[in-house]
Structure 1
């Protein structure tokens, strides 16, 4: 298959689903290496395609995707699990974490956390790699982009985060 055709097909695959697509699975589908797919995605992103990488794979961001809200939070690393649980238990999807860096500006970590299972996977990866939460750079202050079905879901999440002491106001 021609390189341009493969990239068009990968882009079509991304546009046809709302679930993340794993580079390894795309590589098998198109008979190339995972690294070739990663390169194809990089080229598509350079062509201004709104593709983001999450821990579960690549997502195509649609303009018509509404229900995206940004919320400011503050907590310790030990409280990360509870904060994420409040969001997903109340119907939200944690799309990312954003922190402000004094040199680089806004740093974004793509998360795509929609369930307690996803939270477990994320927390296990933090522990096994001994990585630190991005929020530790700013004394626990950070933003999340959360996807909600409606305004009521967002308001419920905000209320629960406030009651838990996680909302930064």
Structure 2
């Protein structure tokens, strides 16, 4: 599988009204609760986070949405490149605006970004992936993930977008 190479460069980046368009996801899995003392076992949701390469705190996989792919393909590609996971996109959690400090000068206008964030049900965790030399993965329950989030907008995506999506999609 030699096609597992991270894309680099910004030539294919999409922009909208001066904002760099970004796609990302909150990878998650179901974990049966350890406490199976009562008959109906509770399922716990865990989310997968990765370390930031530019400082403390954890992140969800995300990156530039490129001209030759759909926003869903971009979100899936970032999950594969940065976190080494493949899965099924389950729904759009929302759009989040933020400023990218790393790309401020490069893009001129303040480094404004608009991220489309999805819920991604993880089906496969790869043993090797493009950014494994700089990224560590960590599965966390939602309260831990909220505390570990490096960026406020990712915390919002988790607390409002993902938690609401879970509540709407988990009954039954």
Task: State the TM-score, normalizing by the size of structure 1.
Answer: 0.25
Higher relative contact order (CA 8 A, sep 6+): 2
Larger radius of gyration: 1
Higher helix share: 1
Structure ranking higher in strand proportion: 2
